[in-house]
């Protein structure tokens, strides 16, 4: 084992259980390929278009008109002709 890994093990051994849990979560995120890809992705520096600004403004206005509430999942399923029980069965 490398000295860095040995040192990491020593440090982990000194942590409180709640701290170990946090470190494990961090390590899992670091090793997850999707998380790693997101962390290494280039910053989106493309300017926002007028169409995008308009879409965001419409979205915010919609939420204001609906007391900040989204659309319930069951309502979306119904819009597509799916009953919630059908979705649950398919998921299983």
Closest CA to 74 of 90, 92, 87: 87
Structural domain span for residue 76:
68-92
Identify whether 60 is part of a domain.
Answer: no
Identify whether 79 is part of a domain.
Answer: yes
Residue 14 has pLDDT above 70, yes or no: yes
Identify whether 81 is part of a domain.
Answer: yes
Is the pTM above the cut of 0.85?
no
Identify whether 53 is part of a domain.
Answer: no
Buried (b) or exposed (e) across 11-43, using 16+ Cβ within 10 A?
Answer: eeeeeeeeeeeeeeeeeeeeeeeeeeeeeeeee
Residue in the structure block whose two tokens are 């399923």: 77
Identify whether 19 is part of a domain.
Answer: yes
- By residue count, the chain amounts to 92
For 14-38, what is the mean pLDDT? 89
Q: Please tell me the total count of domains within the chain.
A: 2
The average confidence (pLDDT) of the chain is 87
């Amino acid at each position: 084992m490398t000295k860095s890994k040995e040192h990491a093990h020593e440090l982990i051994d000194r942590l409180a259980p709640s701290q170990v849990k946090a470190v494990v979560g961090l390590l899992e995120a670091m090793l997850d390929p999707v998380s790693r890809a997101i962390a290494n992705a280039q910053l989106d520096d493309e300017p926002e278009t007028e169409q995008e600004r308009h879409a965001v403004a419409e979205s915010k206005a919609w939420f204001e008109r609906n007391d900040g509430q989204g659309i319930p999942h069951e309502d979306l399923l119904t819009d597509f002709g799916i009953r919630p029980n059908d979705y649950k069965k398919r998921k299983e």
